[in-house]
Amino acid sequence: MSSREEYKTESYYQIWIRSFKDGNGDGIGDLYGVYEKLPYVKSLGVDGIWFSPVYPSPNADFGYDISDYKNIHPDYGDLDQFKKVLEKAHELGLKVIMDLVVNHTSDEHPWFIESRKGKDNPYSDYYIWRDRPNNWDSLFEGKAWEYDNKRGQYYLHLFAKKQPDLNMDNPKVREEVKSILRFWLDMGVDGFREDVINFISKREGLPDGFPFLPAAKGMSHYKDGPHIHEYMAEFRKVCDEYGCFQIGEGPMTSVGTALKYLSGDTKSLDMMFSFDHMMADCLYTEYIHRPFDLIKLKKAFTRWQNALNGKAWNTLYLENHDHPRIISRYGDGRYFSPKRKIPKYWKESGKMLAASYIFQQGTPFIYQGQEIGMTNIRLSSIDDYVDVSSKTNYHTYHLKDTVEERLHRIHISSRDSARTPVQWDDSAHAGFSTVTPWFYVNQNYDVVNVRAEEDDPDSILNFYRKCLALRKKSRTLIYGQYREYFPRDRHIYMYSRTMGDVMYLIICSFARHRVHVKFPKDLKGMKKKLILCNYPENEPKDINGHFRPYEARVYRMKKS
């Protein structure tokens, strides 16, 4: 294995800095807080950190609208403090990967400020300007075109209005991207997560999108666009010079398309974040939000596991800064009751969800707060939410619904639920800050917090540690062949990982009641040893093939 394939054995922790830990007492998470908590991150058993954007940004999209690619947002510290964090992380054996957001910049980026000035400006062609807009929709705010008075033209923004799309067909823009890569690589970072990277090449002439497709008209003209692999190859070349690795975010990408980025002649990425398994409750198709469907989830998992096997490498994740808390979506938080501060089977379902994905083939990612089982927040008015896409959804998609119904959807789907301050202990503001934080703290912090879970050997936190440690020391759990059993079962997700004589069998119940579990016929007669379970060891284990609510077990199997 070459050193650049180390990522296959590794796991990562995602930090969305604004809500991670406030180190200087202004209510906003920062690099001082990160520095302080690096030993904690290390203690989870992960091998590195992915930083969501830490760069200067007006925060129209909380960091994903960048106004300076080669600096640190003053709220979070400065370049010196970043270097300290990087050095300390490396000392601890943690890699650091940065977010590369180059589909668009902030409208407050100097390039855009220049570009607006006119057609003879040196930055004129850094963005996509037109006299007349086409019919494309933006993904965040209405139509994809905004008129600019100064320039007297429309600019394209696939996301918010304050996120104008860069013109990647301009070689100068691609040189800028390479220069950004080099800037951070020269400093010593280990890789990049590349934001909506499959959107950077737009079809020439920007033709109208098909009118009969419901959401995001025009997407087929910029998703995996005509020059994408050429541009990706240019970026790959720079990364290769440094031996760093690249993970692409691939919204709406099919496995077939993903393989073009991940293998063969056009290979430009080491891994890709796919979205398929995030559709198990149709969160992205807001019109038709449906209850969570385990069969859908399993299908998505298995599709990617099988398609990439032996050809490419998966990322494994359930939460990030765009996806609300998993216990609230796929765990017991689905059965919300205003009488309960935390779901009845909060702990059990939180731990089960960890086992459901960490043991698949791929590199696991854990999002801050996921490891302690943080849950969605339920604010009482849309005005309390800050995420641009939540606001748009509330004010457009659901106009037919009552206020209560619309708010209900926001409670299930808002990205803000992933962005509440991390709950460190049960002191004021959950130990996140000494002053009132920039955003609401989930009121369950007296139960759901790092300190309490450190002290409890059966906590969700300690279960994550066990899972990561188990994976780390088993070649079978890292490289082994994946196989799913009983794909039509509505409650049980069962899969195995096999390598040579060694097999692990992972069984996860997604039911909040007891269910009977069949044992696969062809595994009968094998010796099995229970090595991990999400219920405390001293509780009696039901030997009749019944699983308790949200029970998860990992067996090591051997031919007898």
Angle at CA of residue 551, ends 345 and 492, nearest 5°: 110
Residue with tokens 């957001």: 101
The rounded distance, in Å, linking the Cα atoms of 385 and 391 is 7
Helices (H), 280-387: 294-308, 326-329, 346-358
Strand ranges of the sheet holding 145-148, from the earlier edge strand across to the other edge: 129-130, 153-156, 145-148
* Least distance in angstroms from the C-beta of 22 to Ca ion: 4
Could you tell me which of 121, 247, 119, 240 has the C-alpha nearest to residue 192? 247
Could you tell me which of 493, 490, 487, 491 has the C-alpha nearest to residue 505? 493
Stated length of the chain: 560
User: Which listed residue (195, 281, 416, 489) binds ligand GLC by CB under 6 A?
Assistant: 195
Query: In Å, how far are 289, 389, 397 from 142, measured between CA atoms?
Result: 20, 10, 11
184 counts as binding ligand GLC under rule CB under 6 A: no
* Least distance in angstroms from the C-beta of 324 to ligand GLC: 13
Q: Which is nearer to ligand GLC, 102 or 460 (CB)?
A: 102
- Both tokens assigned to 256: 């077939």
The rounded distance, in Å, linking the Cα atoms of 268 and 126 is 24
Which stretch, 20-28, 311-319, 437-445, 504-512, contacts Ca ion (CB under 5 A)? 20-28
Q: Which is nearer to ligand GLC, 61 or 489 (CB)?
A: 61
Q: Which is nearer to Ca ion, 13 or 76 (CB)?
A: 76
How do strand 95-100 and strand 48-51 relate by DSSP bridges? parallel
The rounded distance, in Å, linking the Cα atoms of 152 and 66 is 24
Query: In Å, how far are 141, 229, 254, 267 from 223, measured between CA atoms?
Result: 18, 12, 11, 17
Catalytic residue among 65, 249, 319, 322: 249
By a kind-dependent CB cut-off of 5 to 8 A, residue 394 interacts, out of ligand GLC, Ca ion, none, with: none
83-102 positions binding ligand GLC, by CB under 6 A: 101
Q: Which is nearer to ligand GLC, 73 or 321 (CB)?
A: 321
Q: Which is nearer to Ca ion, 24 or 266 (CB)?
A: 24
325 counts as binding ligand GLC under rule CB under 6 A: no
Q: Which residue is nearest to ligand GLC (CB)?
A: 64
**Size, binding site for ligand GLC by CB under 6 A:** 9
213-252 positions binding ligand GLC, by CB under 6 A: 249
Segment 446-450 long-range contacts (CB within 8 Å, at least 24 positions apart): 447/341, 447/342, 448/342, 448/346, 448/372, 448/373, 448/374, 448/375, 448/423, 449/372, 449/423, 449/424, 449/425, 450/40, 450/372, 450/422, 450/423, 450/424, 450/425
List beta partners, residue 155: 129, 146
121 counts as binding Ca ion under rule CB under 5 A: no
Catalytic residue among 99, 107, 195, 281: 195
Indicate the SS3 state at residue 230. helix
How do strand 153-156 and strand 145-148 relate by DSSP bridges? antiparallel
By a kind-dependent CB cut-off of 5 to 8 A, residue 101 interacts, out of Ca ion, ligand GLC, none, with: ligand GLC
Q: Which helix (H) or strand (E) holds 259?
A: helix 255-262
The rounded distance, in Å, linking the Cα atoms of 337 and 360 is 32
Q: Mask 9-48, x = binds ligand GLC (CB under 6 A)?
A: ----------------------------------------
17 counts as binding Ca ion under rule CB under 5 A: no
* Least distance in angstroms from the C-beta of 321 to ligand GLC: 6
* Least distance in angstroms from the C-beta of 200 to ligand GLC: 12
User: Which listed residue (322, 332, 371, 416) binds ligand GLC by CB under 6 A?
Assistant: 322
512 counts as binding ligand GLC under rule CB under 6 A: no
* Least distance in angstroms from the C-beta of 132 to ligand GLC: 25
The rounded distance, in Å, linking the Cα atoms of 434 and 30 is 13
165 counts as binding ligand GLC under rule CB under 6 A: no
- Both tokens assigned to 97: 């990967």
Q: Is-catalytic flag, 249?
A: yes
By a kind-dependent CB cut-off of 5 to 8 A, residue 548 interacts, out of ligand GLC, Ca ion, none, with: none
Q: Mask 247-266, x = binds ligand GLC (CB under 6 A)?
A: --x-----------------
* Least distance in angstroms from the C-beta of 371 to Ca ion: 22
371 counts as binding ligand GLC under rule CB under 6 A: no
* Least distance in angstroms from the C-beta of 390 to ligand GLC: 11
55-84 positions binding ligand GLC, by CB under 6 A: 61, 64
22-61 positions binding Ca ion, by CB under 5 A: 22, 24, 26, 28, 30
By a kind-dependent CB cut-off of 5 to 8 A, residue 22 interacts, out of Ca ion, ligand GLC, none, with: Ca ion
Catalytic positions are: 195, 249
Where on the chain is the footprint of ligand GLC (CB under 6 A)? 61, 64, 101, 159, 195-196, 249, 321-322
Where on the chain is the footprint of Ca ion (CB under 5 A)? 22, 24, 26, 28, 30
